[in-house]
Structure 1
Amino acid sequence: MKLKNNILKFGLAAGICVLATTSCQDLTDLQPADAFSETTAFSSAKRAELSVIGMYNAAQSGNYAGNVVRGYPFGAAAIEQGDMRGEDMVNQAGFYAITNESTYTPTTANNVWMWNTLFTLINQANITIEGVQKAGTEGLITSEAALAYEGEAKFLRALAMHELLINFSRPYADNKGAGVGIPIRDFAVNSPATVEKAVGTGRGTVAEGYAFILKDLDFAEANLPATRAGNLKIVRAVKGAAIGLKTRVKLHMQDWAGVSAEAAKIVSASAPFTSAIGGYKLTATADGPFKNMFSEEALFSIENNAQDNPGVNGALAAMLGSPALGGRGLVVVSPIVYNLPAFKADDSRRNLMVNNGRSYFTTKYSDYTNRSDNAPILRYAEVLLNYAEAEVRVNGVTSKAISLLNAVRGRATASGVYALSDFSTPKDLINAILIERRIEFMAEGKRWGDIHRLALDADYSTGGIPAKMAYGNATFATYNFVTNPALTKNIAAIPYADYKFLWPIPADELARNPTLAAQQNPGY
C-alpha cells in the first residue's frame, strides 16, 4: 500500500501541474493556489487553453531535485547534455562532468531528472488529451479545438518519448528496433486504478516506441493549425513542426524514403527552399536564427522571457555564456570541432563564438540579463540536412542533395560551397553532410542524437561514445584550424557494447515501479 501511495502522490502531482497557469513549485501541494482542479480545468474554453499552456511550461522548466526550477527537460539541460555526451563541446565546470565523463549511476541527478521530467511531461500530455476529449464530447469546447489541443499534447508527448528513447534505449538500427524501449504510457496516472495500470506497464520494444511516436505525430499533423498568430507559431506546436519532427524520427529509423516524403511537404522542389506550410525558410545569415529567436527558420522552440525562464541554473545564456559577458561558462566549444577542415576560415558561424584568451564560448544565446533566449528544438536547417542525407542514401550523389546541403552551408561560407564534382561516392557526400550538422548545430544539443542513430553504421559510427578533450587539454593553443595540431583526448571513448552507452533507469523510478525494477538497463 505504501508503494501505491507513493506512486499515486507522484502521479497526481505530475497531473495537477498541467492545470497550473504558472509553474508548479511544490510537488507535494496537490492543489496549488494558481491551479485548477482536474475536474474544472477543462470546463470552459478559457480554462482549457490555460491548461494546455501548462504543458509547455512543463517542457520548459520541470522540477529538479528539491523543486529548483532548471532547464529540464527541454531547456538548457537537454541542450547541454546532448552536447556533453558528444565530443564537440568541453565541460569546464563540475555541473555536467558526470554526463561528460559517463560516470552516471541510477542516482546521479542529470540523468535522473531527465527521466522524471520527461515522464511528468508525458503524464501532463495524457491528462490534457483525456480532458479535451471529454470537453469536446460535452460541448464545452468545439470539436475542432479539442482535436487541435490533442494534437499539441501528442506533439509534446512524441518529443518527450523520442528524447527518452535516444538516452535510455539502444538505437532503432540495432536489430530493427527489437531491443528494449521505454514504457509507453498513453493514459493519465491520476487515480489508484491508473497507478495500478502504470505499475504493470513494462518497457516495450524500441520499434513499438517509434511506432507510437509516429502515430502521435501523424495525428498532430492532421489536426494542428498550419500557423498561429505572431510568435505563437513557433512556441506552440503547428503542422510544420509535426512534419519536421517526423523527418528527425524517421532519420533515426533509417527510413530514408520516409524522411524524403515528409520533408517534401515543407521543402520546395528547388532552391531557394521554402515551405508552403508555415512559410518556413532559412534566414539570410547563419546568425539569423539567434538574432531573432522567432525567425522564419524556427519550426518549434521552447519560449523563455524575462518573466518566465528556467533561472540562472537553466537559461541558455547563463549556462553556456562567457563569464566575461555575464554567463556561467559551464561548457565551451571544443578544438575538435573548431579545427575541422570543413569549418572554413571565412565561415561566419565562427563569429557565433567568443574567446576569453583561454577557450571559445558560444554566443548563440546572448540575453545574460533577462534570460529570454528560446531553446531551439527544431530549425528549418535541420529539415534540409535531414532531407539531404536521405536523398543521398536513396539516390546517391545528386544535384538535389548538393543543393540542400549548400543552402545551409552557403549562407555561412562562400569558399566552402560544394559542387557535384567534389564527391565521387555517396559515402563522401554523406560524410560532408554529417560534418555540416556538427558545425551548424554546435551548442544546440544535437550531437548525441547523431552519435546514437549512427552507432552501428559501417561508415559513420563513432564506435560508441567518442573520446573527448578534458578542459585541461583544451588550452588556447589547441584552437588552431590552420595548423590543426594533434589533440589530447583524456576522456576515454566508451564502446557501443559497453553498458554506459545508455543511461540507467533512475533508482527512484525502480523503487516506485517493481515491473521496471526487473528491466533496468544491464550493467547498472
Structure 2
Amino acid sequence: MKLKNNILKFGLAAGLCVLATTSCQDLTDLQPADSFSEASAFTSAKRAELAVIGMYNAAQSGSYAGGAVRGYPFGAASIQQGDMRGEDMVNQALFFAITNEATYTPTTANNVWMWNTLFALINQTNITIEGVQKAAKDGLITNEAALAYEGEAKFLRALANHELLLNFARPYADNKGASAGVPIRDFAVNSPATVEKAVSTGRNTVAEVYAFILKDLDFAETNLPALRTGNLKIVRASKGAAIGLKTRVKLHMQDWSGVVTEANKIVSTAAPFTSPIGAYKLTATADGPFKNTYSEEALFSIENNAQDNGSVNGALAAMAGNPALGGRGLIVVSPIIFNHPAFKAEDARRNLMVNNGRSYYTTKYTDYTNRSDNAPILRYAEVLLNLAEAEARIGGVSARAISLLNAVRGRAIATGTYAAADFAAGKDLIGAILNERRIEFMAEGRRWADIHRLALDADFTTNGIPSKMAFGNATFATYNFVTNPTLVRNIPTVPYADYKFLWPIPADELARNPTLATQQNPGY
C-alpha cells in the first residue's frame, strides 16, 4: 500500500503556513521532486488515490525538528508518549524523560511535534476532502468513490482531533466539555486567505470538538466500505473501524448508552463475540494480534514495512525492544504493572515480555530487522472492553459485561475468568475491567487515555498524572509478583489541578496565531 516516493507532501508544520512559503522547510514545498502539486493531485483517478494514500503516510510519520522522520503522530513515538505519561512503563533513556517526568514547556520537542504533526495530518485530510469533491464534480472519479475517500479523510481527522484533546485539553467530564479544547479546522490551509481564516479562529470547547469528531465518524461509517481486500482491511479505514472509534470516543464522553449502541453494531449478543461488519473477532491466543499484525482482531493499524517504517525512530521494535535482540530499549515494563495483583502468574500475557537480567521489555513488537510491526491503533479487544465497561456502568454486575471481560481475559488465563459472585457491586466489576485494560494494552500507548478520561471519576481516578518509578529504582529485584516488594516511586504525582496535567500549546504555534496566543493553557 505504501507508495512513499509518490505521495503528496501537503502537511503544514502546524496547519498555518502557506504551502509555497519557505519558512516551514520541505513540509510546505508546493511541488517536491517526488510528489504532485496540489493543483495536479486530483486531476485523475489514479492521482486521487495516491493523495488518499498520502494521508496515511502523514499519520504514520511526520517530520521532526531538523527534518528527521519520527513516529508522529501515530507511529512508535506517539505510542510511547502515551505510555510515558502513565505509570506502567519505565523510561530508560533521556528520549522520553520530559514526557515521563512532566517537565515539558512550550518549546520541548516531543509535545510540540505531536501538535504540529497532528495538525499537519488534519490539514492534509482537509486538502483531500476538497480535492476529491472537486474531482467528482469534474467527472474524474465517481461520486461513490469521492464519498468513500472523504470517509477515510474524516476518520483520520477524527482520530487526530481526539488525540489532540487527550493531550492539550481537559477531559469531557470536566464541566461537561465546557473547557477549552482545540481549534476545529474543517478547511484546507493552503493560501493567504485560508491562513487568515485559520489565525482568526481560536479554541473551540471540548464539547464542540467531540461533536465535530462524532459528525466525522458518522459520515465515515455511512460511506466507508464494510470490508476491504487483503491487508487493506487493516491499514485503511473501514466502516467497522469508524464504529469502533466511536465506542472509544463515547466512552471518553461518559455516554454509556452511546457506547452500547455503537458497539452492538459490531459485537454479537453473546460469546463467542464476533462482528457482522468486517468479521472482527479476538484471536485465539493473547499473542495472536502481534504474531500477525493483520489479524482479524485489528480494526485499524498504521502500516509499517521494510520499505516504509518511519525510520528507526518510528519503529516499535526499535524503540521498545530489548537491546540484546536488536532494539534500543528506550522504555521497559514497570514493576508497578508487573507486580499488580490482577496480573496473575499464569497469565499468558506475561509471555509477551522478556528480561535481560535487569529489566523486562515488551515483545509485542519483534521485527528488529525490517521494523515491519504495524502500530496498533484500534483492536477488537478494546471494543469488547469498552462495551463491558459501559454495560457495567449502566447495569451494575451485568452478565454481559462479565462475559465480555471474560472473553478478553479468558484467552490469557484459562482458569481466571470471573463469575457474578466475584463482584459485590458494579464498581468492583468496573475496577476489574479497568485493570484488564492496563494489562491487555500495556506497551500500546493506551494508558494515558484512561488516566485522562478517569481523572474526575469518584472511584477510579489516579488524582492526576500518577507517581512513577525511575529506572534506577526499578531494579531486577523489584520485579516480583510473589512477594510484591514495596516500590519506590520517586517521580511524584502531578495533581489533576496542576497545569502540567496538560501539555502547553507550542510556542511556534502561538507565534503564528495571534488568536491562540491569548488562549495558552494556564500556567505556561
Note if contact 1:221-1:243 (Cα within 8 Å) is conserved in structure 2: yes
Any idea what the Cα deviations from partners look like across 1:238-270, whole Å, max 9, x if unmatched?
A: 000000000000000000000000000000000
1:81 aligns to 2:81 (yes or no): yes
CA positional deviation for 1:286 = 0.3
Any idea what the Cα deviations from partners look like across 1:206-241, whole Å, max 9, x if unmatched?
A: 000000000000000000000111000000000000
Amino acid paired to 1:127: I
Tell me the equivalent position of 1:236: 236
Any idea what the Cα deviations from partners look like across 1:475-512, whole Å, max 9, x if unmatched?
A: 00000001111100000000000000000000000010
Judged with a 3 Å threshold, the aligned counterparts in structure 2 of structure 1 residues 7 and 63 are, in CA distance, closer, same or farther, namely: closer
1:12 aligns to 2:19 (yes or no): yes
Query: Aligned partners of 1:473, 1:467: CA distance in 2, in Å?
Result: 13
Amino acid paired to 2:228: R
Tell me the equivalent position of 1:285: 285
Tell me the equivalent position of 2:7: none
Note if contact 1:56-1:302 (Cα within 8 Å) is conserved in structure 2: yes
Provide TM-score, normalisation by structure 2: 0.96
- Where structure 2 has 5 or more consecutive residues not aligned to the other structure, the ranges are 1-11
Aligned partner of residue 204 in structure 1, secondary structure: coil
Tell me the equivalent position of 1:522: 522
CA positional deviation for 1:416 = 1.6
Aligned partner of residue 95 in structure 1, secondary structure: helix
Any idea what the Cα deviations from partners look like across 1:254-305, whole Å, max 9, x if unmatched?
A: 0000000000000000000000000000000000000000000000000000
CA positional deviation for 1:177 = 0.1
Tell me the equivalent position of 1:450: 450
Amino acid paired to 1:380: Y
Note if contact 2:15-2:189 (Cα within 8 Å) is conserved in structure 1: yes
Tell me the equivalent position of 1:325: 325
Judged with a 3 Å threshold, the aligned counterparts in structure 2 of structure 1 residues 226 and 13 are, in CA distance, closer, same or farther, namely: farther
Tell me the equivalent position of 1:189: 189
Amino acid paired to 2:236: R
Tell me the equivalent position of 2:227: 227
CA positional deviation for 1:39 = 1.5
Query: Aligned partners of 1:231, 1:35: CA distance in 2, in Å?
Result: 25
Tell me the equivalent position of 2:146: 146
Note if contact 2:19-2:28 (Cα within 8 Å) is conserved in structure 1: no
Tell me the equivalent position of 2:365: 365
Aligned partner of residue 98 in structure 1, secondary structure: helix
Tell me the equivalent position of 2:160: 160
Query: Aligned partners of 1:414, 1:171: CA distance in 2, in Å?
Result: 36
Tell me the equivalent position of 1:136: 136
Correspondence list, 1:421-436, <5 A: 421-436=421-436
Note if contact 1:316-1:365 (Cα within 8 Å) is conserved in structure 2: yes
Aligned partner of residue 299 in structure 1, secondary structure: strand
Aligned partner of residue 41 in structure 2, secondary structure: coil
Judged with a 3 Å threshold, the aligned counterparts in structure 2 of structure 1 residues 7 and 499 are, in CA distance, closer, same or farther, namely: closer
CA positional deviation for 1:9 = 7.7
1:308 aligns to 2:315 (yes or no): no
Amino acid paired to 1:475: T
Note if contact 1:136-1:142 (Cα within 8 Å) is conserved in structure 2: yes
Aligned partner of residue 300 in structure 1, secondary structure: strand
1:488 aligns to 2:488 (yes or no): yes
CA positional deviation for 1:200 = 0.3
Amino acid paired to 2:164: L
Judged with a 3 Å threshold, the aligned counterparts in structure 2 of structure 1 residues 28 and 253 are, in CA distance, closer, same or farther, namely: closer
CA positional deviation for 1:6 = 10
Query: Aligned partners of 2:278, 2:314: CA distance in 1, in Å?
Result: 30
Judged with a 3 Å threshold, the aligned counterparts in structure 2 of structure 1 residues 442 and 85 are, in CA distance, closer, same or farther, namely: same
Tell me the equivalent position of 2:262: 262
Any idea what the Cα deviations from partners look like across 1:341-393, whole Å, max 9, x if unmatched?
A: 11111100000000000000000000000000000000000000000000000
Amino acid paired to 2:230: G
Correspondence list, 1:351-362, <5 A: 351-362=351-362
Aligned partner of residue 438 in structure 1, secondary structure: helix
How many residues align structurally?
512
Note if contact 1:106-1:506 (Cα within 8 Å) is conserved in structure 2: yes
Tell me the equivalent position of 1:94: 94
Query: Aligned partners of 1:158, 1:6: CA distance in 2, in Å?
Result: 19
Judged with a 3 Å threshold, the aligned counterparts in structure 2 of structure 1 residues 451 and 12 are, in CA distance, closer, same or farther, namely: same
Correspondence list, 1:395-434, <5 A: 395-434=395-434
Note if contact 1:60-1:302 (Cα within 8 Å) is conserved in structure 2: yes
Tell me the equivalent position of 1:21: none
Amino acid paired to 2:439: I
Query: Aligned partners of 1:302, 1:222: CA distance in 2, in Å?
Result: 22
CA positional deviation for 1:8 = 8.8
CA positional deviation for 1:30 = 2.6
Aligned partner of residue 151 in structure 1, secondary structure: helix
Query: Aligned partners of 1:7, 1:114: CA distance in 2, in Å?
Result: 10
Amino acid paired to 1:88: D
Tell me the equivalent position of 2:460: 460
CA positional deviation for 1:29 = 3.1
Query: Aligned partners of 1:131, 1:57: CA distance in 2, in Å?
Result: 17
Aligned partner of residue 405 in structure 2, secondary structure: helix
Aligned partner of residue 38 in structure 2, secondary structure: coil
Note if contact 1:342-1:416 (Cα within 8 Å) is conserved in structure 2: no
Aligned partner of residue 267 in structure 2, secondary structure: coil
Provide TM-score, normalisation by structure 1: 0.96
Query: Aligned partners of 1:234, 1:6: CA distance in 2, in Å?
Result: 28
Query: Aligned partners of 1:522, 1:104: CA distance in 2, in Å?
Result: 14
Query: Aligned partners of 1:70, 1:63: CA distance in 2, in Å?
Result: 6
Amino acid paired to 1:318: A
Note if contact 1:320-1:329 (Cα within 8 Å) is conserved in structure 2: yes
Note if contact 2:16-2:199 (Cα within 8 Å) is conserved in structure 1: no
CA positional deviation for 1:131 = 0.4
Aligned partner of residue 10 in structure 1, secondary structure: coil
CA positional deviation for 1:138 = 1.5
Any idea what the Cα deviations from partners look like across 1:288-330, whole Å, max 9, x if unmatched?
A: 0000000000000000000001111110000000000000000
Any idea what the Cα deviations from partners look like across 1:21-73, whole Å, max 9, x if unmatched?
A: xxx99325331111111111111110000000000000000111111011000
Aligned partner of residue 514 in structure 1, secondary structure: coil
Judged with a 3 Å threshold, the aligned counterparts in structure 2 of structure 1 residues 8 and 310 are, in CA distance, closer, same or farther, namely: closer
CA positional deviation for 1:10 = 2.5
Tell me the equivalent position of 2:439: 439
Aligned partner of residue 376 in structure 1, secondary structure: strand
Judged with a 3 Å threshold, the aligned counterparts in structure 2 of structure 1 residues 393 and 61 are, in CA distance, closer, same or farther, namely: same
Query: Aligned partners of 2:264, 2:66: CA distance in 1, in Å?
Result: 45
Query: Aligned partners of 2:36, 2:472: CA distance in 1, in Å?
Result: 51
Any idea what the Cα deviations from partners look like across 1:404-451, whole Å, max 9, x if unmatched?
A: 000000000023211111001001000000000000000000000000
Deviates most, 209-218 or 25-34: 25-34
Aligned partner of residue 500 in structure 1, secondary structure: helix
CA positional deviation for 1:78 = 1.2
Query: Aligned partners of 2:454, 2:28: CA distance in 1, in Å?
Result: 42
Tell me the equivalent position of 1:169: 169
Note if contact 1:388-1:404 (Cα within 8 Å) is conserved in structure 2: yes
Tell me the equivalent position of 2:8: none
